[in-house]
């Protein structure tokens, strides 16, 4: 790791704080007499010019995203500048720890503390969204808890600026998988409600110490986000859980409309007086959940007194005598003395007291909790079911027959294609041999035409690519001027490069790569005096690609490096 610079622009570097995709330094601003954080763009080694340009554009977009915002819950960006080849931004210096460190050290946070942090984040997001900035990467790692109690949102590196053209193509996915919304997972257009989903995930993790959607891999995690519902933690009151579950809705339209609505709802339900279930008005009509027993919808019906003298209070929960016959006819002792037999009917006048007004037809008594068995519904007639079974068998047989026919036809087609390829290979071999002979007999135009005819039908023909590369290098040596020589060397390098990419043998790939590097060096030497910007750019790009094929050849590698420096490369 290289030592940090002593200065960047007007800022005096004190020490390196962190290093990941970029480098962050602690620095001092002598003009404003304040401590600042400097974030320097770190360019990955081997980046192409297009990749470098894209990285710089995104870094500048991050500075613009945070620089347009001024809010106590958002990290302040002071400036964006360049110092020679170095690109950096100066930011507010934040002490304290990240929310990630807080969760990792404590396991979970109390409801008041979690609500305080989430409310501060939502307040900052409310301001950012009003300015057209969508963060897209809200997570505990990007929330800074300051030593003075302040809470700041950091890292707008992948923020979406709705007032500028989007740098992300449709279908591209940016973010941290565990905290991404469903629409962010599939690469669809997102709005401010995607950030609210991420806040819901973070709030759940603060209160439980675990993420609501987890998995062993990115695939399983994103599948859970798209298809599963989070498990309700047992320690949350119903109000906080209702806010979290609404923010984690799969469809954006089902979530809170904006950060202000979510913050207001969260602060309203986070009161310690909220219970796990909503309180019920004791004067509410019958059928509502009574406060004394919230799990019973209606009170039990009044008990029915048993026949005969009452000897004990009625207990509706007492199990009946297992030896009794609930179907036996009951009788009235008074009536029995008159030679009459009665069955007990609790709904007849006077029956509950042991008397009777006259003969009553005998009837069996059913057990108190007896219900007739449910009737089986016959949804499909037997004959219809038999027809469907026969139809399924017929479809299976026809499907098997068609599968066999398809396999046979496919094998015949593949055999025919293989035969055609063999014939073409034989024809190409003959043409390649003839082209080689023409090249040896100093007939370069004829040989070139034959090689090109082969490559029209078979772009990866290794013999043709190798022969054409050698032919162009020979023509470049005999060229009349530097511009023509440069063009021929570039064509030679292109053919050798294609050959190296398609070679399956390591030795053959090394040989083709060496030829590619020599052709690139020839183009670099021949084109030194060419002033055309596009042609010099093409030469530099060819030299940079050739370096990858001669890492174990110091001589060629040094020549390529020297030429790259002369063309403004690195």
What phi and psi, each to the nearest 5 degrees, are found at residue 133? -115, 120
Tokens of 506: 């390591």
Rg for the chain, CA atoms, rounded: 41
- The tokens for 477 are 């040596």
**Integer Cα distance of 570 and 561 in angstroms:** 8
Tell me if residue 392 falls in helix, strand or coil. helix
CB 203 within 8 A of CB 244: yes
Contact yes or no for 93/36 (Cβ under 8 A): yes
| DSSP string for 427-440 | HHHHHHHHHHHHHH
DSSP summary character for residue 83: E
Structure-derived torsion over alpha carbons of residues 551, 552, 553, 555, reported in degrees to the nearest 10: 70
CA 288 vs CA 238, 275, 278, 294, 301: distances in Å: 18, 17, 12, 9, 16
Determine the Cα angle at 84 with ends 562 and 168, to 5°.
Answer: 95
Check if 137 is active-site: yes
Between CA 241 and CA 254 the distance in angstroms is 15
Selected catalytic residue, list 22, 137, 463, 466: 137
d(CA 547, CA 513): 9
Q: Which residues neighbour 312 within 8 Å (Cβ) at sequence distance 6 or greater?
A: none
Please tell me the number of Cα atoms within 13 Å of 70 on its side-chain side: 1
Q: Is 33 left (phi over 0), alpha (psi -120 to 50) or beta?
A: left
Give percent helix, percent strand, percent coil of the chain, each to the nearest 5.
50, 10, 40
First to last CA, the chain: 19
Q: Residue 380, Cβ neighbours under 10 Å: how many?
A: 10
Residue in the block written with tokens 């069955």 = 343
The three-state secondary structure class of 382 is helix
Distances (CA, A) of 282 to 238, 457, 484: 20, 87, 98
Closest-CA residue to 168 (of 30, 305, 57, 261): 57
Residue 30 CB neighbour total at 10 angstroms: 9
305-344 burial string, b = 16+ CB within 10 Å, else e? eebeeeeeeeeeeeeeeeeeeeeeebbbeebeeeeeebbb
**Would you name the residues annotated as active-site residues?**
137
């Amino acid at each position: 790791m290289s030592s940090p610079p002593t200065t960047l622009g007007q800022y005096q570097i004190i020490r390196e704080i962190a290093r990941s995709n970029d480098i962050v330094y602690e620095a001092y601003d002598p003009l404003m007499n304040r401590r600042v954080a400097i974030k320097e763009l770190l360019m990955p080694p081997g980046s192409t010019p297009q990749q470098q340009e894209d990285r710089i554009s995104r870094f500048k977009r991050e500075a613009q995203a945070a620089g347009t915002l001024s809010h106590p819950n958002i990290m302040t960006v002071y400036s964006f500048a360049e110092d020679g080849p170095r690109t950096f931004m100066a930011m507010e210096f934040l002490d304290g720890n990240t929310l990630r460190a807080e969760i990792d050290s404590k396991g979970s946070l109390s409801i008041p503390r979690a609500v305080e942090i989430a409310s501060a984040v939502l307040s900052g997001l409310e301001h950012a969204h009003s300015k057209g900035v969508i963060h897209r990467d809200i997570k505990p790692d990007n929330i800074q808890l300051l030593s003075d109690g302040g809470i700041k949102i950091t890292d707008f590196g992948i923020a979406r600026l709705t007032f500028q053209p989007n740098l992300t193509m449709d279908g591209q996915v940016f973010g941290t998988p565990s905290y991404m919304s469903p629409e962010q997972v599939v690469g669809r257009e997102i709005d401010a409600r995607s950030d609210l989903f991420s806040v819901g995930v973070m709030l759940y993790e603060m209160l439980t110490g675990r993420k609501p959607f987890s998995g062993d891999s990115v695939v399983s995690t994103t599948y859970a986000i798209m298809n599963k519902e989070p498990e309700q933690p047992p320690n949350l009151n119903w109000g906080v859980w209702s806010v979290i579950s609404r923010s984690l809705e799969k469809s954006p339209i089902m979530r809170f409309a904006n950060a202000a609505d979510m913050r207001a709802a969260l602060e309203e339900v986070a009161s310690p007086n909220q219970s796990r279930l909503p309180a019920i008005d004791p004067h509410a009509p019958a059928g509502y959940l009574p406060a004394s027993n919230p799990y019973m919808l209606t009170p039990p019906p009044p008990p029915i007194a048993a026949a005969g003298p009452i000897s004990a209070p009625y207990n509706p929960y007492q199990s009946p005598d297992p030896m009794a016959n609930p179907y036996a006819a009951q009788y009235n002792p008074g009536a029995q003395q008159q030679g009459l037999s009665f069955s007990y009917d609790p709904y007849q006048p006077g029956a509950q007291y042991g008397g009777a007004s006259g003969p009553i037809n005998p009837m069996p008594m059913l057990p108190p909790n007896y219900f007739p068995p449910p009737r089986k519904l016959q949804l499909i007639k037997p004959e219809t079911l038999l027809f469907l079974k026969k139809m399924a068998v017929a479809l299976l047989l026809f499907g098997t027959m068609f599968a066999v026919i398809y396999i046979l036809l496919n094998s015949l087609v593949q055999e025919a294609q293989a035969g055609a390829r063999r014939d073409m290979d034989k024809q190409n071999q003959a043409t390649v041999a003839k082209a080689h002979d023409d090249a040896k007999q100093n007939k370069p135009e004829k040989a070139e035409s034959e090689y090109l005819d082969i490559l029209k039908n078979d772009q990866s023909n290794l013999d043709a690519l190798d022969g054409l590369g050698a032919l162009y290098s020979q023509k470049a040596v005999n060229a009349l001027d530097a511009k023509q020589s440069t063009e021929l060397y570039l064509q030679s390098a292109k053919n050798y490069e294609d050959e190296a990419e398609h070679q399956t043998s390591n030795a053959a790939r090394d040989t083709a790569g060496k030829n590619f590097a020599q052709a690139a060096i020839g183009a670099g030497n021949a084109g030194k005096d060419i002033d055309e910007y596009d042609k010099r750019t093409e030469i530099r790009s060819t030299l940079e690609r050739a370096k990858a094929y001669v890492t174990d050849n110091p001589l060629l590698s040094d020549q390529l490096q020297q030429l790259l420096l002369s063309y403004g490369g690195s």
